């Protein structure tokens, strides 16, 4: 009986901890904004630009790029590669996001 109670308790803890670590859709944009910063190569070359991206997140948590538009191809490649390198835990399947990244010399 103790084994059953312990096992059920352990399973409950695992389930609750997995829900606690799930990134909610509202927080996904915040996480991405922290990950995609002004790249060093652009700072050195004094490159400025805007990249607009439309993407979705699959059931597996990978980012699928749908549409991109950019004023600079190097910045576009940088954003796309950074997004493709991110993996999220996702509760909803195929959530769609639109984001704008502005890179300006400050």
Q: Following DSSP, what letter does each residue of the chain receive, concatenated?
A: -HHHHHHHHHHHHHHHHHHHTPPPHHHHHHHHHHHS---HHHHHHT--EEEEEEEEE-TTSBEEEEEEEES-HHHHHHHHHHHHT-B---SSSSEEEEEEEEE---
Q: Is residue 67 part of a domain?
A: yes
Q: Is residue 83 part of a domain?
A: yes
Q: Which domain holds residue 88?
A: 23-103
Tell me the per-residue pLDDT of 5-56, one tens digit each, with 9 for 90 and over: 444 444 445 444 444 344 555 688 898 999 999 999 999 999 999 999 999 9
Q: Which pLDDT belongs to residue 58?
A: 87
Supply the CATH number for residue 68's domain: 3.30.2420
Using the predicted structure, report yes or no on whether residue 71 has a pLDDT greater than 90: yes
Number of folded domains in the chain? 1
Q: Is residue 16 part of a domain?
A: no
Q: Is residue 59 part of a domain?
A: yes
pTM for the structure as a whole = 0.72
Q: Which pLDDT belongs to residue 7?
A: 45
Q: Is residue 65 part of a domain?
A: yes
Q: Is residue 99 part of a domain?
A: yes
């Amino acid at each position: 009986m103790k084994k059953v109670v312990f096992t059920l308790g352990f399973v409950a803890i695992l389930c609750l901890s997995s829900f606690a670590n799930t990134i909610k859709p509202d927080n996904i944009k915040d996480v991405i904004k922290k990950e995609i910063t002004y790249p060093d190569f652009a700072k050195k070359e004094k490159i400025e630009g805007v990249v607009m991206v439309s993407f979705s997140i699959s059931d597996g948590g990978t980012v699928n790029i749908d549409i991109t538009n950019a004023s600079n191809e190097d910045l576009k490649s940088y954003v796309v590669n950074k997004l493709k390198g991110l993996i999220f835990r996702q509760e909803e399947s195929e959530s769609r996001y639109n984001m704008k990244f502005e890179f300006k010399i400050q």
